[in-house]
Structure 1
Amino acid sequence: MTGPGGLLLGVASGAPHVEGSAGRGRSVWDAFAAAPGRIADGTVPDPAARPGHADPDLALQAALGGDAYRISVSWPRVQPGGSGPAAPAGLDAYDARVDGLLARGIRPWVALYRWDLPLELMLDGGWLVRDTAERFGDYAALVAGRLADRVDGWATLDDPFAHMALGHAVGVDAPGLTLLGGAFAVTHHLLLGHARGVAALRAAGAGRVGLVNNHTAVRPAGPGGADRWAAGFYDRYHNRQFADPVLLGAYPERLITLPGVPDDLVADADPAAIAAPLDFYGVTYEHPVTVAAAPENRSVPLSLVPMAGVPRSATDLPLHPPSLERALLDLRDRYPRLPPVYVTATAGAFDDEGGAPDVGGPARIDFLDGHLAALRRAAAAGVPVAGYFHWTLLDGWEGSAGRRPRTGLVHVDPDSGVRTPRPAFTHYRDLIRGDRPTAGPAAGP
């Protein structure tokens, strides 16, 4: 079964988002959240929205009627110290979750890693050292050995660009490092971990294997040469740093030759391993980026400037669905052997004033319709779009932003855990059933 137009339609969540910390080892997020001022509202991963294999959440997923549900596995839940044998209770929890989805006719999609590195591995160097990629391959083999026969789609990494940039270059997210250009080692070791994960999944018989990465549409702030250069550099940094080595077999030249990149970082066999063929490419799209030159800044000679004339989310990000279409067209144009593309998340956070779950209903629905329309225009223009996962089913903990961003189709009371479907839940359910037209707003500028 697929949604109208042959597209797979589903929803997504992540382990840090809904699972909390009970029953697992410590991750970099636990240490990060314990530091004063790191989380916007001072919250920590607990109380969680409760693990998604709980019966109430499976009932909600079945009521929505989507084709698939995309989750991430928590590395410290499966391997509490980041190495050694699996924790039986951790694998059992995901085993039950996969079986619960299948019993309701929902295809499980699984990401092996969404930024929750076991703290012990971080203390040994984290993604700054090559050994973490090898440990990731071992972890991938443990999960694949239990679940590969029933999972419909596997992603090795979920948004590695954001993890590298926000967590290691500028320190907004865990683990909170501010390495700037020195974070390129993290890029390479994440991609080497991806390669080891692909090999482990293939060896276990996984049927559909890919990578999920963050992409955006980049525009120069003005027509001048300096702004165009800055936008071009940022495009390579954000959109091509991970996609080029995976889909073309080489890093963008401007990045690999930056000062501070070790000459021996990339071993001879690494590029071919990283570029192993994939069955799909996942795209997370959050917002467009406008870039201006900032020559006075010696460390980062560019700046990101607000996009004027568009609505903004509760986290003050520009909401501009046509930029999703632009990002997808860029992928089509750059990568001749682009595999099927799944838009695996779009990030729309809206306030619920006074905790009322129905506030913001029209804005959420407009957000959903606009992004689906952009996706369909991209497909009509030749992008091999195969599906869409809405982020998220449930409100949860959004890392450094805390619990204020309310991204769920279902409102979750942070104290009681009570779930209340929002109007956007019903709207998406009707789209999946084909009860509503799928055309959305026309393309914008």
Structure 2
Amino acid sequence: MQRSDATSGLTHLPPDSPVRRQDFLLGVATAAFQIEGASNTDGRLPSIWDTFCRAPGKVLNGDNGDVACRHYEKWAEDVELIAGLGVDAYRLSVAWPRVMHADGRKNDKGLDFYKRLLDRLREKGLDTYVTLYHWDLPQHLEDRGGWLNRETSYRFADYADLLSRELAGRVTAWSTLNEPWCSAFLGYGNGHHAPGLSSTRYATQALHHLLLGHGLALPALQVNDPAARRGIVANVGAASPASPTPEDREAARLFEVQHNAWILDALFKRQYPDDLFRLWPGSEPLVLDGDMDVIGRPMDYLGINYYFRVHVKSDGAHGYTEVRAEGVERTQMDWEVHPDSLRRLLIGFKRDYPGLPPIYITENGCACDDRIEDGRVRDPQRLSYIDRHLSAVDGAMREGVDVRGYFIWSLMDNFEWAFGYERRFGIVHVDYDTQQRTLKDSALAIRDFLAARTP
């Protein structure tokens, strides 16, 4: 067996860290649009990302998801790859356009793909964490307003009902949504992601309908698949003031209101933060009676995705502006590496949201400009990144935060949304011409770490 002789492994964790125990779940993650390909196969419908990729200038190099990593064809090989790493779990998403026809009927061919995949994963002893929505809204729903249309929340609940009936017993834990902040703000607020609209008023309304869909889906998941846990995945942001002035400290606080409290207050306090509308005057969404009670329905866990910290200063009015810090470590995405912000945020969430359910870090990882040299991919920055963030999780757990697991983003290099195939997050290298998968040094070190865990 090839071992990670060029790395020192995960060295920042104390020997007694709970992260080193077998009861702390460690997994890898992907998303359907980013790896599956086969965009016109077996009745799959177009999604908003198929449309967005074909709009000139929206995706780097004009890349699209038509082929991606050919996971739809190579799924059995990929399951062997995952199992060979020794991880406990695999987090994946289902492509809504692959499993439902436009009239709401199920697409058996698409469903059969996920049934085979999930069955094989369970045969390999892997827990399955399944996300219902990882950004690939069927285009026919966007044509009727997408997440700006309240009706989409109800169509999402129908989809959740169908999928949880069809896949019942195959799923360890369901996530309703992945990163609703990104779907709402990047998709409808600044146009960086599909469907490419730009209005803060659109962003707040889309976010409300996303969260409403989440709440509407929870009862069906409970009834149809009662043994599976139910939750949602939120991306969170960390800010540091550019100076110690009160104005810049307030700017950093407002950044975290916009990135974190916007979602978490709705889920756990059943209200949107008033400060959000100081940032975006006049952007209040239309909220009907009872909506917040639906959104605030109890969950079994909360997924947290964290990647980087930003520096901000006051804009001199009612908000903030980001500034570039010099002399800091950055990834291929130009994101600052700051593991301690993850620890700080987790401790703050425990403080601010009494009754918070158990947390899983559902995404954390690092994009690097990885290349195969002499049959090997050396990625020391990625391994160091994962090591230090696991140490940050350990620090939060020692402060009483109930963190149950951690998923690396991602299993393999894939379609990185607006950045196409240039940015590589995988611990497994993908040659997009040959579809050859190659374990990077980080994957080898993680495999060794997992094999050495204590009971």
Q: TM-score range by the shorter chain?
A: over 0.9
TM-aligned CA deviation for residue 434 of structure 1: 2.0
Kindly report which structure 2 residues correspond to 1:139-154, keeping only aligned pairs within 5 A, or say none: 139-154=159-174
TM-score w.r.t. length of structure 2: 0.90
Distance 1:354 1:431, change over 3 A: closer
Paired residue for 2:119? Answer: 99
CA distance in 2, matches of 1:148, 1:240: 33
> Structure 2 counterpart of 1:230, which letter?
A
Q: Is the 8 A contact 1:69 1:108 kept in 2?
A: yes
TM-score w.r.t. length of structure 1: 0.92
TM-aligned CA deviation for residue 413 of structure 1: 0.5
TM-aligned CA deviation for residue 357 of structure 1: 7.0
> Among 282, 285, 302, which residue is 1:260 paired with?
282
Kindly report which structure 2 residues correspond to 1:340-419, keeping only aligned pairs within 5 A, or say none: 340-353=358-371, 358-419=376-437
TM-aligned CA deviation for residue 17 of structure 1: 1.1
Paired residue for 1:440? Answer: none
TM-aligned CA deviation for residue 350 of structure 1: 0.3
CA distance in 2, matches of 1:322, 1:3: 16
Matched, 1:162 2:182: yes
Indicate the percent of aligned positions where both proteins have the same amino acid.
40
TM-aligned CA deviation for residue 262 of structure 1: 5.3
Distance 1:50 1:356, change over 3 A: farther
Q: Is the 8 A contact 1:208 1:280 kept in 2?
A: yes
Q: Structure 1: which 5+ runs fail to align?
A: 438-445
Matched, 1:4 2:26: no
TM-aligned CA deviation for residue 377 of structure 1: 1.0
Distance 1:362 1:54, change over 3 A: same
> Structure 1 counterpart of 2:175, which letter?
A
TM-aligned CA deviation for residue 226 of structure 1: 2.2
Q: Is the 8 A contact 1:350 1:360 kept in 2?
A: no
TM-aligned CA deviation for residue 256 of structure 1: 5.5
Q: Is the 8 A contact 1:3 1:433 kept in 2?
A: no
Q: Structure 2: which 5+ runs fail to align?
A: 1-17
CA distance in 2, matches of 1:256, 1:339: 27
Paired residue for 1:443? Answer: none
Q: How many residues align?
A: 430
Render the CA deviation track for 1:96-151: whole Å, top value 9, x for unaligned. 11101001110111000011111111110010111000000000111100112220
Paired residue for 1:85? Answer: 105
TM-aligned CA deviation for residue 419 of structure 1: 0.6
Q: Is the 8 A contact 2:200 2:283 kept in 1?
A: no
CA distance in 1, matches of 2:284, 2:391: 44
Distance 1:354 1:56, change over 3 A: closer
Which SS does the other structure have where 1:213 is aligned?
strand
Deviates more, 1:50-59 or 1:91-100: 50-59
TM-aligned CA deviation for residue 3 of structure 1: 6.8
> Among 232, 236, 261, which residue is 1:211 paired with?
232
Kindly report which structure 2 residues correspond to 1:12-411, keeping only aligned pairs within 5 A, or say none: 12-20=29-37, 21-23=39-41, 24-51=44-71, 54-81=75-102, 83-206=103-226, 207-255=228-276, 258-261=280-283, 265-295=286-316, 301-353=319-371, 358-411=376-429
**Aligned-residue RMSD, C-alpha:** 1.9
> Structure 1 counterpart of 2:46, which letter?
R
Which SS does the other structure have where 2:71 is aligned?
coil
